[in-house]
Structure 1
Amino acid sequence: MNSRIVQANNIMEKQKHEMEQFLTNAEGIVEHSQSLFALALAISENATKASNQSVAGKDSVSKTVENMEGIKDSSQYILAKIESLSEISTTLTDIVSNLKKISSQTNLLALNASIEAARAGAAGRGFDVVAKEIRKLSEESKRATELAEGSIKSIFNEMDEIRQSSKKGAALAITGINDVVETEKCFQEISTSISKMDGQKNDLQRISTELKLESEKAHAASKSISINRKVISEGLQEAIDEYAHSKV
């Protein structure tokens, strides 16, 4: 009887120790669970940040495309102005060519007039005819010169518009470059966030492994406690039966 009770007492002491170990393991599980929860929150925050930065990156890319479209439109405008300038230059070339012809004819007529005047003397009637032709050609030269001046002025105006358009294109190009830089920064931040998430993912796996080990320890301790309880129950029941039998 006494030996059974002693054995039961020893088992109960062992059970107490194992129960304390079980509680310690349980506390470890709780701590790791809390760490796991905090880590999950951090991952969620980084995922949200990465998503927001991704949206910002897309917006920046859209702005870049829009600015590039502006540059393209400006380039097309410049090409159209250059084409117009080419046509004006052709007109100016024709005018200059006519001026050269008129000048040549004027010089020739002036020479003929001088010869005619020398021959006829004071009574030279042909000089008057030639003089009229010279005046006529002079008027034509004047009109041609005015046309040339108008064409040149148009060229200057076209060149000024081209200059302004070029400045606008350059400004848009600079804006596009800045947007590209911002886009690069956004995606770099996304990459950094993803790297952090990868690192935290590894930590999560490590903590999960530790949590599994702690759970296995707790399970083993719980199983041992269950067996010990059975032994205690059987031992105490036997002691009770023997004690009751001895009283009969």
Structure 2
Amino acid sequence: MRITAQLKYSIIGLAVLTAGVTIFENTRTQEGEFDGSMVNKAGIVRGASQRLVKLEIHGQPSDELITKIDTHIDGLLNGSEELKLHKQKDKTFVAAMEKVDANWEVLKADVLEYRRDPSQKTQLIKDSETFFEDTNKAVQAAENITVAHIKEVGNTQLAFFIFDIVVLGFIFWLVLRTAKLLQTSIASVANSSSDIAATVEAQEQAVTEQTSSVTQTTSTIEDLGAASLQAAQKADTSADGAREALTLSETGSQAVENTVQEIEELQSKVGAIADQIMQLSEQTDQISIISNLVADVADQTNMLALNAAVEAARAGEQGKGFAVVAGEIRKLADQSRDSASKIGTLVEAIQSSINSTVMVTDEGTKTAKAGIETAKDTANVFNQIAEAINEVYNNSQQIAQTAKRQAVGVQQAVSAMNTINLGAKETVSAVSKVQDSTETLQTIAKELQVAI
């Protein structure tokens, strides 16, 4: 059974028990009123009888007082709503009242006889004393009934109080158990957040290496541009040495320019790669920010767990304070899941950027190949120039050496691109770890929600 269900049923049981106690005590209070009325009315019978005798002796007969005593004795024996008297079942009290009733008939007869013959005063006083003793016993019996009822109420209240203590103890145990469960789950969330932070750090290192590779690629392309310019200058010098080879020289110059354009296009492609890598770096920074948000949520959850423990210790109003804290914890768990969703979105964006990087790299490779082909065409043209113009042979040699340096520069560019690809793979691996950690966070959040 879930903890929340156990708490709910315990509180419902306590509420039902409290309602029962209230109803019981109200009933007992009414019975106590009737008990008090019984003692009071028995005392009235006792006092009124003595007053009646005194009035009769002093020549002040009172039929109204006789009627009152008759009414009270009948109510004490048979019950009376007007006098708020129940018909009693206690044998001792009933026996005492039956004796009172019988002696009252004797005393009434004495009163009537005294009115006719005042010489019966002695008998009247004697019978009134006997009646007084009987009413005393009836009052004592009524008081005993009242005391017994009071003791019964006290014992019942004590039993209810003990049961309340047991139920409250069970609720307190459930609260402590829930707090312990929350602490364990929150510790797991904190550990998962640490794993995410470590993974993001690894991604930052990979992006740094990618940035370094891009810088190296840019430097290599600059060297290629300088070498191409030098080749063009040497070609111009060769053209000045031989007019009859002017057409071939112009063709060679055009081929060199084509080579330069192809290399410039390669530089543009690599620049696009650099832009993609910068975008990837920015997205990785966002991942770091969201990871910090997850860590903050974990800290807040720890604080809420502490508050929950304090509220549970107080156990005021059946743990209502704890219910508020638990609601806050559920909100923080929802924020953790939202952060995890954002991390997943950023991971997809990073993967998209990596795909774009691969495509741009392929285009750069194709462009490099085209540059090589153009360089070959240039070499053929300059071979024709060498055959036509011997005096520019040395300059042609220098042009060939420059072309070799260009090939080396292109190879360096390809190597740098390979480094970029390796860094991209490392980034993908790190993103996979982020996904695993995110799934762990989601699982823990669900466990926390179920526990609450």
Q: Same fold (TM over 0.5)?
A: yes
Residues 210-238 of structure 1 show CA distances to partners (whole Å, capped at 9, x for unaligned) of xxxxxxxxxxxxxxxxxxxxxxxxxxxxx
Aligned match of 1:132 in 389, 400, 404?
400
Q: CA RMSD in A?
A: 3.3
| Structure 1 counterpart of 2:198, one-letter code | Q
| SS of residue paired to 1:113 | helix
Matched, 1:11 2:133: yes
How much has 1:32 moved relative to structure 2?
3.5
Matched, 1:24 2:135: no
8 Å Cα contact 1:85-1:155 kept in structure 2: yes
How much has 1:136 moved relative to structure 2?
1.4
Aligned match of 1:151 in 419, 422, 432?
419
Matches within 5 A, 1:29-68: 29-68=151-190
| SS of residue paired to 1:161 | helix
8 Å Cα contact 1:81-1:162 kept in structure 2: yes
How much has 1:150 moved relative to structure 2?
0.9
Aligned match of 1:115 in 226, 233, 237?
237
Matches within 5 A, 1:192-203: none
| Structure 2 counterpart of 1:133, one-letter code | Q
8 Å Cα contact 1:74-1:166 kept in structure 2: yes
How much has 1:9 moved relative to structure 2?
6.0
Residues 121-173 of structure 1 show CA distances to partners (whole Å, capped at 9, x for unaligned) of 52231244124213312321231122122122123223323433444455555
Distance 2:240 2:173 in 1: 99
| Structure 1 counterpart of 2:411, one-letter code | R
| SS of residue paired to 2:164 | helix
Tell me which residue corresponds to 1:207: none
8 Å Cα contact 2:202-2:430 kept in structure 1: no
Tell me which residue corresponds to 1:83: 205
Tell me which residue corresponds to 1:232: none
Number of aligned positions between the proteins: 184
8 Å Cα contact 1:92-1:148 kept in structure 2: yes
Distance 2:153 2:164 in 1: 17
8 Å Cα contact 1:68-1:172 kept in structure 2: no
Matched, 1:94 2:216: yes
Where is the helix percentage greater, Structure 1 or Structure 2? 1
How much has 1:60 moved relative to structure 2?
1.2
| Structure 2 counterpart of 1:63, one-letter code | S
**Structure 2 spans left out of the alignment, 5+ residues:** 1-122, 246-387
How much has 1:101 moved relative to structure 2?
1.4
Overall identity of the aligned pairs, in %: 11
Q: Which moved more, 1:37-46 or 1:173-182?
A: 173-182
Distance 1:179 1:107 in 2: 68
Distance 2:233 2:134 in 1: 145
Distance 2:426 2:127 in 1: 116
Distance 1:109 1:28 in 2: 121
Distance 1:178 1:89 in 2: 39
Residues 75-126 of structure 1 show CA distances to partners (whole Å, capped at 9, x for unaligned) of 1221232023213311331232122112321332233134325525522312
Distance 1:134 1:52 in 2: 83
| SS of residue paired to 1:125 | helix
